[in-house]
Structure formats: C-alpha cells, structure tokens
Chain A
C-alpha cells in the first residue's frame, strides 16, 4: 500500500505543479458558477416550484457537472502510462521495488483524487442549492458518492487504455469514445433495440352489443418491450446518477378516503413531481421501462424497490472499471514477454 501512495504522491506533485491543471480547475469552477447562476435565474419565475427551487438547481447542477467531468476526466488519465513510456520515465519506475499494482494503483489514485478535487470545487454551489430548500442532505451524500465512483470508473478505463495502447493519441481518442459509448451510445442502442423488439398485438374488446358476433371487435396496437431492453440504458452514468438519488418527498401524498361496509379506508398515492425534480424525472422514467407492457401507467409506484435500475448500472460500470484497472496492472508487469508493436522499453 505504501508503494501505491508513493506513486500517487509523485503523480500528484508533478500534476499539481503543472500550471494548466490550475487553469483547468479555475475554468471548471467559473463554468459551474455561470451555469448555476443562469439556472437559478431561469427558474426564479416558475410558479409550480413552490419553494423547491433547490431541487431543480441541485439536479441540474449535478447532471451538468457529470457531463463536464466526463469531458475532462479522460484528458487527465488517457496518457498516464504510454505518455510516461514515451517520455522514458516508465522503465526507470518499473525496475524499482514498486510492483505493477503499485504503479497502476498510484496512477489511478492520483487521477481519481484529482477528479475528487474537481468534485469538491462544486461544494459552494451545492451549498447554495441546499440553502434554496428541497435538497435533503442524504441526497447530496449519495449523489456525491455515486458521481465520485463514476469518475473513478472513467479514470480506470482511461488508465487501462493508456496501458494497452502504444500511442497517447490513440488512447485519448479511445477514452473519449468509451465515454461516448457509455452516454450517447447506450441511448442510441437502447432506442434501436427497443424499436427492433416492438411487438404488434391484437386487443379484443367487447362492445356491449349482444348482437355482435363473437370476437368481432379487436384492434391492433404496438407495444414497446422496454422491459426487455431497459438494461442497455442502465450503465449510462446519467441514469445511474439520477436513479441512485434518493427521492425527494416535499409534498404530502394525495389521500382519498372511502367508506366501505361501514369502515373508512384511506388510500394514499405519492404525488408525482414532474418538472420539479430533474433527477426524479429521469429515475421514474427509467424505472417505468422495466414494467411489462400494460403496467406502465402505474406511476404511483415511484419508490418501488423492485424496479431499481442503478444497482445494475453502477455494478456494471464498477466491474468495467475494475477490469480495465486489471488490464493496466497486467500490462505494467515486468519482465515482459510481449511488447505492443513498435514500442521500445528504452
């Protein structure tokens, strides 16, 4: 473990002193402040929010932050192994007592730590949205943890690619492509797969007219079998983020009382908060994808535990990150039998 820390400290020292890193962080903060301020101004005149400005601000901020982070992270790690090799510093590191795991782990830790510093820079804005009400602390804690984990996954993927490929430019391009695959790619494949699995079925109905012949009245309808394809969307970082966010309950559920055979029974349904909570909206729509056709109108089950999507998505993402980290470790192991084509160790 001390080897990992040694390498991480080296990487961070080198990185922190590089001026461009500070500029990137400054630009990052300015962009987030600008976005949050604009968002605040945009929602200030909306009437349906009823004091939940914070929910919108926080949700919007987190989605924007994730998008921005997905753009920045590959740049931080995508050349960390092959760049070192091109600069001639890798071999010198590998002949020391540091193991391949130390080197890969240190590089990942440094990159992830940097990512977390970027995340930390958004703290004032998160605090602002909390002041505006409608953001429970538990939501902030869980969303922050999930975003941190997702950024770690992106770092691990980039690290693995930089160890796998000889050229820094190739691994950078592939890192961005894998981010693209996880975000837009899952969306595109989900759309196409859903269209491809759409079924047509015949629905029979009775008209109530006794003179009509049996089975006279039927119509055809197409049903999207999203219950078969929802998992394609699951690894999408935005889906994971939104679905993992705990539900905000800020309005009391609508309750109706019925008098049945002398006793009074009360049925309550949580109020849907469409348009108020961006994270909740995404979460509800992806969870509803899991229900078989016919049950999709059952919006009321918004907190239904069995329809969770994020554990699958996050699980997949973390496994992918772990796999790519394993690839990096394997690739850093010496003595080497095979070398990537055109690579010299010294």
Chain B
C-alpha cells in the first residue's frame, strides 16, 4: 500500500455513488454528442467507460469535470451539482485529459507545485509536490523541463497532478494510451489502490484487456447513449459462442484430430488453429478428446475476452 495514496482519502463516503449522471444530453451545433447517457460510479470501485470512437466518452467526462454544461440531465459528483456547485465539485474531483498539454520551460517539480497552488494548497504545495514525484517515480526528472518528458512520463505526471488535492472522484480519459506494458501494469495497480482506499475511479479506455483486469464494472456507450453495463466478475461467468485458439507440439497431428472429430477450424497459422466453440464445457470436452487421441496440446485459450465479446455484441450494429 502506498503511503501517499493512503492519506488521500480519509473521509468516508456519504453515499455509495461518487458519480451519478442521469439522462445527460449534449449537442454541439448539429451534432448530438450525448443523447441520453446514464452513468454511475461507486466509491471504492474502478468503473470503465467504453465505446467506439465518437461515442461521447470524452464529452461525458468533460461534463463530469465541470468544463461543459449538459443540455439536459442530472449530474452529481460526490453529491454536488457541477453546474451550481462548481467549486465543491472541483475540490472533490480530479480530471486527466486524454491529451496532456505541457508548458514550455517549466520543470516537473515546478509544475506539480503550481498545481498545488492552483488547488489552493498554499504553503503545503512544495511538500505535496515531493510526494507526488515519488508516487510518479519521476524524482530523477524533477528538475527537467516538462516538455522533454516522454509521452508515458507525461501521462504519469498528468495523472499524479490530478491527485494533488486528494480528490475522492477521479476521472481519467484514456490514461493507458501510449504507456508501455510495464507502466500499464503500474497504472492499473495505482488505480486499484486508489479505489481500495475509497475513491470512485472512472476510466475511459479502448484497451479492453486492461479494463478486464482493473475495472469492477464497465459501462458501454454507443453514439451518445448508454447501451449496457456489466460487472467484470459476472462477465467471467457468462459464456457464449467464442473463438478458441489451439496450439500443439505437432500441428498436423492437431489438424488431423480436429478433422476426424468434425470440428470446423481455420487454416493453421504460426499462432495456432482457431476453432469456434459454444461454451466453456465444449472447450473442456475438446481438450479431453484431443489428449485422448494422443495430440500433444500446448495451449487452448479463448481468442477474444468476454469483455470484448460483450463490447462487440452491444456496439456491433454499426454498419
């Protein structure tokens, strides 16, 4: 447990929901960006926000972050209305935009100190900046100009900047974009950590594999409407037709065995052979059969994750 993250969330949440948005609509000129989005995010949970490009995720996050006014609908952040109690919402929430803009000629340390001042920390901001430097593992870059940081380092800096005032609601727009696998795992751990100490974390992302590992719940939006929501642990239990990829020590042995048992399959590739199966039980049966036939099966795994399958099913009919 990170000591910095721990001290951030001392107060216990009054209500279970950090973010509530009901029937949110927003139009830009003639474009309907949001046509009725319902969205909630609970304290202590990471909530994923997924949807195709242009679905309205960024627009929704801008409304939650008090930058855009919704045309219609009710929004509450930590119990406050972003329209009428803007200050209270800002004190309670942190926002990380998808594109992290930087000031020229400002060092990492100065940038974080300035963020502290902007959030009214006053004399406490230098100390807070040091804590955040540790949290972001950017101590070595503390006196380097922000604009020379790599994309991933900037992303990390933008992320810890949003924590400067200890927000209880965290809104992140595609935080994983541009991160290397290691930083991705790290981000995941950090977000889980923040949730475990009571924050409501909202993450929009296109990387479903990431969400599958860090989110508790996922809300799907498509063309400005909420089209569904799932708890990740429910998704893991659910099943349906899926493509599984098989690999064996001897490929021709495997193909021959599949043909013998009348399993339709794709042509073998270096990655393996793909077979569509109806359920987990069918997969178990297939493996047992192959082993019985003497095929040396190395691996058998679903090609698409359950989240991906749900995503495609919910947002699929795009034409």
A124 to chain B, nearest CB (A): 28
Answer whether A87 and B90 are a contact pair too, CB < 8 Å, given A94-B67, A335-B82.
Answer: no
**Cβ contacts under 8 Å, A341 to chain B:** 29
Closest-CB distance, B90 to chain A (whole angstroms): 6
- Report the Cα distance A6→B91, complex, angstroms: 17
How far apart sit A10 and B102, CA to CA, in the bound complex (Å)? 12
B141: chain A residues within 8 A (beta carbon) = none
Tell whether B73 is near chain A: CB-to-CB under 8 Å: no
Q: Which of B66, B114, B122 contacts A334 (CB 8 A)?
A: B66
Tell yes or no: A14 within 8 A of B by CB: yes
How far, in angstroms, from A240 to B249 measured CA to CA in the complex? 91
- Residue pair B119, A87 in contact (C-beta under 8 Å): no
A92-B105 in contact (CB<8A): no
- Tell me whether A14 and B102 are in contact in the complex, defined as CB-CB below 8 angstroms, given that A335-B63, A346-B58 are known contacts: no
Contact B101 A13 (CB under 8 A): no
Contacts of A138 in B (CB 8 A): none
Q: Are A346 and B86 in contact (CB under 8 A)?
A: no
Stretch at the interface among A71-79, A95-103, A217-225: A95-103
Instruction: Knowing A88-B99, A335-B82, A346-B99, say if A95 contacts B105 (CB, 8 Å).
Output: no
Contact B67 A346 (CB under 8 A): yes
Query: What band does the interface of chain B fall in when counting residues whose beta carbon is under 8 Å from A?
Result: 35 or more
Q: Which residues of A contact B90 (CB under 8 A)?
A: 95-97
User: Is the beta-carbon distance between A97 and B119 smaller than 8 angstroms?
Assistant: yes
Chain A CB within 8 A of B282 CB: no
Q: Shortest beta-carbon distance, A79 to chain B, in Å?
A: 13
* Binary flags per residue of A93-137, CB closer than 8 Å to B gives 1, else 0: 111111000000000000000000000000000000000000000
B188 to chain A, nearest CB (A): 23
**In the bound complex, do residue B68 and residue A335 qualify as a contact, i.e. CB atoms below 8 Å apart?**
yes
Tell me the chain A residues, 240-269 only, with Cβ under 8 Å from chain B.
none
Known: A93-B118, A346-B98, A346-B173. A337 touches B67 (CB 8 A): no
Chain B 99-132 near chain A by CB (<8 Å), digits 1 or 0: 1111111100010001101111010000000000
Q: Mark A312-334, 1 if CB is under 8 A from B, else 0.
A: 00000000000000000000001
Q: Do the beta carbons of B67 and A345 come within 8 Å of each other?
A: yes
Give the CA-CA distance A98 to B68 in the complex, in Å.
16
Q: B91 contacts A335, CB within 8 Å?
A: no
**Which of A98, A335, A339 interacts with B66 by CB under 8 Å?**
A335
Which of chain B's residues have a CB closer than 8 A to the CB of A3?
A: 118
Interface 1/0 per residue, A1-37 and B, CB below 8 Å: 0110011001001100110000000000000000000
Residue B28 lies at the interface, judged by CB distance under 8 Å to chain A: yes
Q: Cβ of B83: which chain A residues have Cβ within 8 Å of it? A: 335
A162: min CB distance to chain B, Å? 16
Knowing A13-B110, A334-B66, A334-B67, say if A6 contacts B86 (CB, 8 Å).
no
CB of A44, distance to nearest CB on chain B (Å): 45
Task: Write out the residue numbers on chain A whose beta carbons fall within 8 Å of the beta carbon of B110.
Answer: 13
**Assembly CA distance A97 to B114 (angstroms):** 12
Output the least CB separation between A22 and chain B (Å).
12
Not counting A87-B101, A335-B86, a sample of 6 additional A-B residue pairs whose C-beta atoms are within 8 angstroms of each other reads A92-B158, A97-B87, A97-B91, A334-B66, A335-B63, A336-B69
Name 20 A/B residue pairs within 8 A (Cβ), A-sorted: A2-B122, A10-B114, A14-B103, A14-B106, A91-B62, A91-B97, A91-B101, A95-B65, A95-B95, A97-B165, A98-B118, A334-B86, A335-B63, A335-B67, A335-B83, A339-B28, A341-B29, A346-B58, A346-B99, A346-B173
- Shortest Cβ-Cβ A-B pairs, 7 listed: A88-B101, A17-B105, A96-B118, A89-B101, A346-B97, A335-B69, A337-B69
